[in-house]
Amino acid sequence: MGAEQTGGVEPQHVKLTGATDISRNHVLMSVEGGVIVVTDLHSRNGTDVVMPGRGPQRLRAGEPTAVMPNTVIDLGSGIFLTVRNLSMTASH
């Protein structure tokens, strides 16, 4: 999983251990023009997002998708990321 931000902030790569359904390079999250954008990096099992007030949506591999605050990103293996403003929190 990778993260890319604008404004001079260095990208951060997060390694998750024990998560067998998550690809080595699963998803890219970036901030573009003040909006968080999520891109599935052609992961083996895909990435689902649930935006507030909507049902689950499977991301198309390689296609950047803008998300809003309180969006939940499901990476599989019980790993979820929740978008909070221009930051994210992880849980499982």
Report pLDDT digits (tens) over 64-91: 999 999 999 999 888 899 988 765 556 6
pLDDT value of residue 19: 67
Please report which residue ranges of the chain form alpha helices under DSSP H.
none
Give me the domains of the chain, ranges plus CATH numbers.
2-91 (2.60.200)
Cα end-to-end distance, the chain, whole Å: 15
Residue 73 identity: I
